[in-house]
Chain A
Amino acid sequence: MPKRKLDPLPAAAFHILLSLSAGDLHGYAIMRQVEAQTEGKVRLGPGTLYSSIQALLEERLIEEIEQAPAPDGSVSNSPKDRRRLYRLTPGGRKVARTEAERLAGILRIARAKKILRGEYV
């Protein structure tokens, strides 16, 4: 089996997969979502963000979808307003879960080693 580009999964890619788990987002929303879910610790820059998105697209862990209609029901055709939306694929969800489990396993070890205090889940 050829080595996958995202194995091990980079942190940025994992954050993007996690941000998309709750719903479809465009690039800037992903960046904000990641920032929010890391309490401002991770702010993905455009280069990192879109390079990671491209890698995830190539591995079919996420997919690009048609622009969702605006709240007023109209679809904007202006290139400036048009943003690509990204959706987590089943494969992407599986990879995210596997990564989360791998990290959970490490977390258990760390806890067993008394490295982590009880305040962490």
Chain B
Amino acid sequence: MSEKIYACLLRLYPARFRRHYQAEALQLFRDRMRDERGARRKLRLWADLLKDLAVGLPQAYRNTYPKAATAPEWQTAAGSPAFRTLEEEPLRPSSIVMGGLFAIAALALFISLMNHAAAYHPFSTSAGRLAAASAGSETNPDAQVVAEKIEEKMGRARQMENCSFEKLEQHPGNIGYVKLNWFPDSAPCREIAEGVMQRLNETDAIIFDLRDARGGSPEMVRLMAGWLFDHPVSWYNPRAVSPAQLVTNSPVPGSRLADKPVFVLTSSRTFSGAEHFAYNLKTLKRATLVGETTSGASHAGRGTAPSPLALSEPKPIWEGTGVPSDVRVDAADALRVAEKLAQSAIHTK
């Protein structure tokens, strides 16, 4: 106990003094405690120590403690590596026990934090995090909104990918060539479709290649066809849900396609919505179909229930039979034949 008190008093001395002399000062104290027995001598010892503090402390701070004079053991010749032992005394058992307890406490805290941080999954995908954020929307209502917005954007991007027209080319003789494998949904793709049709304004004839077209949106079929007329025409539409869909929206502002020859390439793989486009343009005598008879697939084949506003014929006229072409050639030759027909149509115009 007495030694601890004196060790505390020693802390008043400068660090450099303690570094050099603390062990010896404590040893001296222990020696005196051992040698000076009896209450009177012990009392004298403490009086000496207090007096010593008053005299020795200022002097300890006056000393300069040059390094060369006090730490010569670890200084070696220039260039040679040196190791300095800062603490030579072995660890006391109490220090080891305290260190162990602190380590266990730190580990327990770390484990506890890991268990309570389950909401954070650094290795999950962004979709997984969105789902987790949505699931935790009770605590974070914004997460739901953000997740919905992102999902909406991703959906729109997927649709935009599907807006792609396979080809838009200018063939010899200033023939506009559009290859379409799918009539995309009119809502997200209308602008793109209009862009394609505007480009066709600069051509003298148009070939729609529907030989690999699998179908698509009836509304897109009607919108694209509307560009080809200069006045509204009755539009056969077995899938119409409103009277407006039974007539083309011609004339479309900006369209100069009404007087241009139109050719539609068909094959036995031309399905559904593509047949719809081909059938109407053929019936309206607005286009020449070149190629093979279409597949004759049904609109209802896509699993949608017939609309109450649909015409009296719930199934398309071409279902089962297909749309016969005007110029019967193999699908492989259709483009070459159509180009010749277009060129002669341009010249005879």
Contacts of A45 in B (CB 8 A): 48-49, 51-53, 55-56
Q: Is B318 an interface residue (CB 8 A)?
A: no
Pick the residue among A31, A58, A79 that contacts B28 (CB under 8 A). Answer: A31
Measured CB to CB, the closest approach of chain A to B6, in angstroms, equals 8
Q: How far is the CA of A49 from the CA of B24 in the complex (A)?
A: 11
Contacts of B53 in A (CB 8 A): 45, 47
Q: Is B115 an interface residue (CB 8 A)?
A: no
Q: Is B66 an interface residue (CB 8 A)?
A: yes
Q: Is B165 an interface residue (CB 8 A)?
A: no
| A-contact 0/1 string along B23-35, CB 8 Å cutoff | 1111111011000
Which of B13-21, B196-204, B338-346 lies at the binding interface?
B13-21
Please report which residues of chain A, range 49-71, place their CB below 8 angstroms from some CB of chain B when the two chains form the complex: 49-55, 57-58
CB nearest to A84 among chain B residues: B24
Q: Is B76 an interface residue (CB 8 A)?
A: no
Binding site of B, secondary structure by majority: helix, strand, loop or mixed? Answer: helix
Q: Is B89 an interface residue (CB 8 A)?
A: yes
Pick the residue among A27, A47, A53 that contacts B55 (CB under 8 A). Answer: A47
* B52 near A58: Cβ-Cβ < 8 Å: no
* B59 near A51: Cβ-Cβ < 8 Å: yes
Q: How far is the CA of A5 from the CA of B62 in the complex (A)?
A: 9
By size class, the interface of chain A is 20 to 34
* A83 near B27: Cβ-Cβ < 8 Å: yes
Q: How far is the CA of A10 from the CA of B28 in the complex (A)?
A: 22
Measured CB to CB, the closest approach of chain A to B242, in angstroms, equals 100
* A47 near B88: Cβ-Cβ < 8 Å: no
| A-contact 0/1 string along B214-228, CB 8 Å cutoff | 000000000000000
Contacts of A44 in B (CB 8 A): 52
* B56 near A46: Cβ-Cβ < 8 Å: yes
Binding site of A, secondary structure by majority: helix, strand, loop or mixed? Answer: helix
* B24 near A50: Cβ-Cβ < 8 Å: yes
Contacts of B60 in A (CB 8 A): 47, 50-51, 54
| B-contact 0/1 string along A7-49, CB 8 Å cutoff | 0001010000000000000111001000000000001111111
> Given A48-B55, A54-B21, A57-B69, do A43 and B48 touch, yes or no (CB 8 Å)?
yes
Measured CB to CB, the closest approach of chain B to A113, in angstroms, equals 30
Measured CB to CB, the closest approach of chain A to B86, in angstroms, equals 12
* B63 near A55: Cβ-Cβ < 8 Å: yes
Q: How far is the CA of A79 from the CA of B66 in the complex (A)?
A: 23
> Given A46-B56, A50-B24, A51-B59, do A79 and B48 touch, yes or no (CB 8 Å)?
no
Contacts of A26 in B (CB 8 A): 24
* A54 near B65: Cβ-Cβ < 8 Å: yes
Measured CB to CB, the closest approach of chain A to B62, in angstroms, equals 7
| B-contact 0/1 string along A71-115, CB 8 Å cutoff | 000000001100110000000000000000000000000000000
Pick the residue among B62, B69, B88 that contacts A79 (CB under 8 A). Answer: B88
Measured CB to CB, the closest approach of chain B to A42, in angstroms, equals 10
> Given A54-B17, A55-B63, do A47 and B89 touch, yes or no (CB 8 Å)?
no
Q: List 9 A-B contacts (CB under 8 A).
A: A26-B24, A28-B31, A46-B21, A48-B55, A54-B17, A54-B20, A58-B63, A79-B89, A80-B23
Given pairs A48-B59, A51-B62, 9 additional interface contacts (CB within 8 A): A26-B24, A28-B28, A45-B48, A45-B55, A46-B10, A47-B53, A50-B24, A54-B63, A83-B24
Q: Which B residues are within 8 Å of any A CB, using their own CB?
A: 10, 13, 17, 20-21, 23-29, 31-32, 48-49, 51-53, 55-57, 59-60, 62-66, 69-70, 88-89
Nearest first, the 3 A-B pairs at minimum CB distance are: A45-B52, A47-B56, A46-B25
